[in-house]
Structure 1
Amino acid sequence: MDRINYQHLYYFWVVAKHGSISAACEVLHLAQPTISGQLAIFEQAVGCQLFVKQGRKLLLSDTGRAVFHYAEEIFSLGRELTHMLKGGGGRGMRLNLGISDALPKLLSYRLVEPLLRMAEPVQIHCLEDKTERLLAELALHGVDLVLCDVPATPASGARVFNHFLGESQVAIFAAPALAERYRSDFPRCLNGAPFLLPTANTALRRSLDQWFDVNQISPTVQVEVEDSGLLKTFGAGGSGLFFSPLAVAEAIESQYGVCTLGIADGVVERFYAVTAQRRLKHPLVNTILEQAQKGLFGLLSNAPATEVVAVGQV
């Protein structure tokens, strides 16, 4: 196709946002045959199928998802242009950021917070999901950067690059009343203690299971939680002991009203930024990496980011 028909792109975008042609008809005030016909012409111009039918719903194909992300950006720019022409000012820099749901929320904030202090206005769109799905979005250019607690591997199926941000020891936290019961003879006193643990599919859980075995601790698992913020909320209510990076211990104590019992010796959480390019061009991505390496973890102030090609070669 030599030139995109933006009217067709707009119809596609509305259908994709609302999930069906009938829903798009109500928004666009057009008849169903009109929209169906325009979509067919657009797919023919693109040269591939953009939707896959599943019952009464239309799901985006892989190409459809990529086109949709570009359409989102195009029509977002259009709204900002209209806003600027009406005297509302221009746009700031935009970052589409993927954050793994296993990443501690306070740590995510610390990584992103430098962007919020920049002189130039920024727009940050955060998508939280499982790391595998975020890496798929990265390959389709749905996000510019993925923050996660494990590096991407060749199994992710995309050509991406890992940037090591830093690492932190892991501490054990508890609500004050519960902490009093498990302060003496640490860590042996933790045998049989109630614990709130991340789910078995996380890197931290695998390290914790090994730590329990080495220290001959049999925890009473009260709750297993994927979301790190929800886990801390349970912990603040006194439901059990929980683990989190020592790098944000002070903030955890302040925000959740809990105490630090001690450090799980030998357990370390590592954190990564994953990008689709080795050479970083997005200024906001560079800012996140530079600020993390300068002192977020207190141990990488002079070390450059480590970049590793983590996917199948192309």
Structure 2
Amino acid sequence: MSAPWLNYHHLHYFWVVAREGSIVRACEVLHLSQPTISLQLQQLERSLGGELFERKGRGLQLTELGRTIKRYADEIFTLGSELAEVARGRPTGRPHRLSIGVSDVLAKLMVYRLVLPALKLPEAVKLVCREGHFEDLLKGLATFELDVILSDAPLSPGSPIKAFSHLLGECGVTIFGTAKLSRAYRKGFPQSLNGAPLLLPGSQSLPRRALDQWLDEQQIHPLIAAEFQDTALMKVFGQEGIGLFPAPSAIEAEVCRQYSVKVVGRIDQVRERYYAISVERRLKNPAVLAISHAAKSDVFPSKVVSRVKTS
């Protein structure tokens, strides 16, 4: 059996009476007669199954049920007012909600650096992050549960979801290690990686496949000490000196600072790309635009450097 339908006109009249403190003052605000408002309050009470007001001298006082209903009415009609303001293109005092899907293969520090500009907008943003497999996140994008997905790969041409891939930028890969390991393997990089203990992402990840291909081309054969699905866990093992590990060069300073490691060398031929996947052909969401603009101007280098740097 379905729940009885709530008459929102009646609820609005109740809300005004509760706010004004009397039916007489509510009549002046609503431009309605006292019998009309009284009748509709009675109908609302019948539909809700209880009294909303009780007499207190010459005025009205909310019952316990009335106080509960007023709390809901406050939120309902405040949201309704904000909805009208948004439709007219006017700002509201309520934080803008930004729901981001994060592909679980992305480095957490990279996600933080990409998303941070959205939190620095003049208008407050309430951030909701959902991490998961790319295909699962696409379902959330299709049902508008997510505003955007951050991914290391564009949407495949055969995807059943109608969405668009916006390239945020790309960068090379840096190899990190503890101070002891960096001293041992920095000289002669990248050939020094021959036989070096290396911690790597899982074999199915795009960064891993790109790095494997480059190592094969250079005929470099490191010792794969461990593989990790979670790159944050990989960095923790690297921090403890279990082996060298790769990370995007765009977050080099953050990795060194957070994990107390040093740069062993940089591989600019291995590129990692980052995308914003959106249902919009052209990005319009102000928070997503802030992410895109900052990525292109601050996070990623403006041109590809096709050589291996050592340091």
| TM-score interval, normalised by the smaller of the two chains | 0.5 to 0.7
> CA distance change for structure 1 residues 79 and 167 in 2, over 3 Å: closer, same or farther?
farther
* Structure 2 contact 176–262 (Cα < 8 Å) conserved: yes
Q: Which runs of 4+ in 1 moved over 4 A?
A: 82-85
1:80, CA displacement in angstroms? Answer: 9.3
Q: CA–CA distance in 2 between the matches of 1:216 and 1:79?
A: 69
1:250, CA displacement in angstroms? Answer: 1.1
Match of 2:23 in 1: none
Q: CA–CA distance in 1 between the matches of 2:239 and 2:73?
A: 42
Match of 1:134 in 2: 137
Match of 2:61 in 1: none
Q: CA–CA distance in 2 between the matches of 1:117 and 1:220?
A: 43
* Structure 2 contact 118–288 (Cα < 8 Å) conserved: no
Match of 2:115 in 1: 112
Q: Does 1:266 align with 2:241?
A: no
1:158 to 152, 156, 161: 161
Q: CA–CA distance in 1 between the matches of 2:5 and 2:77?
A: 23
Q: CA–CA distance in 2 between the matches of 1:285 and 1:276?
A: 12
Q: CA–CA distance in 2 between the matches of 1:204 and 1:281?
A: 30
2:182 to 159, 179, 183: 179
Q: CA–CA distance in 1 between the matches of 2:74 and 2:259?
A: 39
* Structure 1 contact 80–90 (Cα < 8 Å) conserved: no
> CA distance change for structure 1 residues 179 and 91 in 2, over 3 Å: closer, same or farther?
same
> CA distance change for structure 1 residues 96 and 79 in 2, over 3 Å: closer, same or farther?
farther
* Structure 1 contact 135–156 (Cα < 8 Å) conserved: no
1:155, CA displacement in angstroms? Answer: 3.6
1:280, CA displacement in angstroms? Answer: 2.8
1:132, CA displacement in angstroms? Answer: 2.0
> CA distance change for structure 1 residues 183 and 79 in 2, over 3 Å: closer, same or farther?
farther
Give 1:298's aligned amino acid.
Answer: P
> CA distance change for structure 1 residues 82 and 207 in 2, over 3 Å: closer, same or farther?
same
Q: Name the % identity.
A: 42
Aligned runs of 1:1-314 on 2, under 5 Å? Answer: 81=75, 90-299=93-302
Deviations 1:8-53, CA, capped at 9 Å, x for gaps: xxxxxxxxxxxxxxxxxxxxxxxxxxxxxxxxxxxxxxxxxxxxxx
Secondary structure in 2 aligned to 1:239? coil
- Of structures 1 and 2, the larger Rg is shown by 2
Can you give the 5+ residue segments of structure 2 that lack an aligned partner in the other structure?
7-71, 80-91, 304-311
Give 2:167's aligned amino acid.
Answer: F
1:118, CA displacement in angstroms? Answer: 2.0
Give 1:228's aligned amino acid.
Answer: T
Secondary structure in 1 aligned to 2:189? coil
Deviations 1:157-212, CA, capped at 9 Å, x for gaps: 21110001111011100111222221222112211111111111211011011111
> CA distance change for structure 1 residues 249 and 79 in 2, over 3 Å: closer, same or farther?
farther
Secondary structure in 1 aligned to 2:176? strand
Deviations 1:59-93, CA, capped at 9 Å, x for gaps: xxxxxxxxxxxxxxxxxxx79937979xxx95210
Give me the CA root mean square deviation.
2.5
Give 1:254's aligned amino acid.
Answer: R
1:296, CA displacement in angstroms? Answer: 1.6
> CA distance change for structure 1 residues 205 and 83 in 2, over 3 Å: closer, same or farther?
farther
Q: CA–CA distance in 2 between the matches of 1:155 and 1:100?
A: 19
Query: How many corresponding residue pairs?
Result: 223
